[in-house]
Structure formats: structure tokens, C-alpha cells
Amino acid sequence: MKFATLHDIVKRARQNLDRNHWDYLIGGADSESALKRNRYGLDSWVYRPRILNDVSGVQLSTELLGSRLRIPVVLAPIGSLQVFEADGGTTAARAAEAFGVLQILSSVCTPDFEAVARAAPGPRIYQLYLMGDEAWMDDVIDRALAAGYTGLCLTADTQTYSRRERDILKRYVPPSGSRAGGSDFGYQASLTWETVAHIKERFEIPLIIKGVNAAEDAARCVEMGVDVVYVSNHGGRQLDHTRACIDALPEVAAAVDGRVPVLVDGGFMRGADVVKALCLGATAVGLGRLEGLAMAAGGADALVRALEILEHEIRITLALLGISRLADLHAGLLERAVPLTTPHALSAFPLLDEDY
């Protein structure tokens, strides 16, 4: 059966995953406040549509680091992708290539980055956690360049592994959590601005810093030559009680001031969510949980289908806003309002428990 809605995909994923893997995917850190705020923040922005504009042709594509994106979306890095579908990062890479978006491959999923590159050649970005000293890092980046990766993403909000109580209560340790609990992961706490300077000086590869939440850090990233600033709170899975990523986005975008692209993730599930981020200054939106849900629902085919549905939702949203080009989106198309739903990881899908 061809999935007709994103609801269908999420329902199938829930049927296919056991409790351990389901909770790992939808859960957050500690009280899960940061996770809920991501959805609350998205639902707190509502549209001010404009009328009588020609939207007979709506343009959705954009460019990031020299790659054309069919829609302004990237597949965010997810650890343990292989628990949702056996081929893990390779499956996501093939889906990204088939549809026409960029994948950011996590360094804590399988297969490893070199195996993924051999199985699915093409432009993609490698997300790196530090598991060794500077010499170790330099060797990995050299190998990523040799394997054809077109960008490097450093995740800066994972100085230590958080407490994810859904997993702890069941005594479940996901594969990525097992690696993060090892002694080598301690190098991640030594990540500093000097690390950024070293990478920019030594390597000819575009650098993304993921985990930016404040204007001050965004401005410093640009000053140091970072090529993409990525707003993220790790899907609410690291520091709890952070503000919603979409609420951090405007000040980050203002600090960057168009000098480099801005990415954002954190609770984005629907086409309308993506368009809100673009209005507030994002170049593209990272999809994490939706990526995992689609892979659990049916592998690469379901992930491509999820992107197709998302594309349709984005196109409809733009047309009904009275906008035909991504470049014409602006913050004046939004205003704040009180959300109508109780936020949680899947509150974007209110029909999940309906019998259709």
C-alpha cells in the first residue's frame, strides 16, 4: 500500500517498532521539557496569509553547499538508525539521493561512513563526534574527504551524554548510547573554538556547527569561517529546559545576517512547520524523528514517500500563503498565538489514534 499521509507512516512505524526502539525514537532528556517546547514553539507561530498573488507556479528548490535540494530539507544525523531499518545510514543515503536532498550521516550509526559512501556515492555531509585526540580527528576528516563527503558537521551540544529516562527505566542502551557511554566519548567534552579554528585552517571542507542556540555563538561561528550555522537542541534529547529551536532561530538568523546558510531542526514534522522556519530565516530544515519514523515504516521507499508528502504539504502551504518563491518568505507572514494542542513528540499527528 502506498502511504497517503504522514499519519499513515507514523502509524506503521509504531506497529513495526518494539517498545525499546519506539521510546528511543520519540523520547527526550530528563523531563522531556525541551522536546515538548520544540512542538509548543512551532504551534505558537500562526500564518498571516496574503491574497491575490499569482501562485500558479510554486518554486520549492534551493541550494546548500553546492548541492541542489529539491525541497528545503536535509536528513538530520541520527544515531542508531540501524535499529529502525537494518541498513541504517545506507538506506537513508539512498533515499536522500533518490528524492533529491542532502543526508547528514551520524558517526554513531551503521554502516560506517566509508561503507555508506561506497554503497551510495554522491554528495553528503558527515557528522563527527570526537572519539579521539586531534590526530584521530584529522585522520577521520582526511578519510571522509577521500570518501567523497562534501561537508563536515561538528555537533557542539553533546559534551556528555544526557539522561534519557525512557531508556533508563527499561535498562535499554541503544547502540549509539553504548558508544557515548564509552571512555572515548569523553573527547567530546574537549571540543572548543580552537577545534573549529584547527579544522578551518587544515582542511578544505565546508564546516557546519550544529547545536547553536544563541546569537553570540552564531556570530562567532561566522567570524571564524564556519560555513553553515545549525540551530538545534538535539531534538530535546540533550540539555533539558531549552527554548524551542524555532524561537532561537530569529536571533541566530539576525546575527548571521545572510552571510552563511542557517539550518534548524527540533520538532519539525509537517510542511507547514518547514515553511515557518523559512519565514524566520532558515535556509533549510533538518528532519530527524520523521526520518527515523519513515525508515521504520518501510525503509528507503517509505522515506522517499514521506519526503514526497512533505513536498506536497510545503507546496500547498506556500500557495495558500500567497507566495510562489522561497525567497519571498518573510517574518511578516507569521504572528504569535496560543497553541491549541498539548505538545509532545507526535502532536503534529492528531489523528494517530483514529480508526481510518
Enzyme catalytic residues: 234
Contacts of 123 (CB under 8 A, 6+ apart): 65, 66, 67, 102, 148, 150
Spatial separation of the C-alpha atoms in residues 115 and 59, rounded to whole Å? 35
| Contact present, 205 and 227 (Cβ < 8 Å) | no
Half-sphere exposure of 275 (CA within 13 A, CB side): 31
Say what angle helices 245-256 and 271-279 make with each other, to 10 degrees: 30
DSSP 62-77: EEETTEEESSSEEE--
Residue that the C-alpha cell 504551534 belongs to? 43
Residue that the C-alpha cell 531499518 belongs to? 85
In angstroms, the Cα distances linking 170 to 21, 23, 28, 44, 91 are 11, 10, 14, 34, 28
DSSP lists the bridge partners of residue 74 as 102, 286
- Number of Cβ within 10 Å of residue 356's Cβ equals 8
Element (H, E) at 125: strand 125-128
In angstroms, the Cα distances linking 86 to 10, 21, 56, 107, 138 are 18, 13, 42, 16, 30
Query: What cell does 351 get?
Result: 489523528
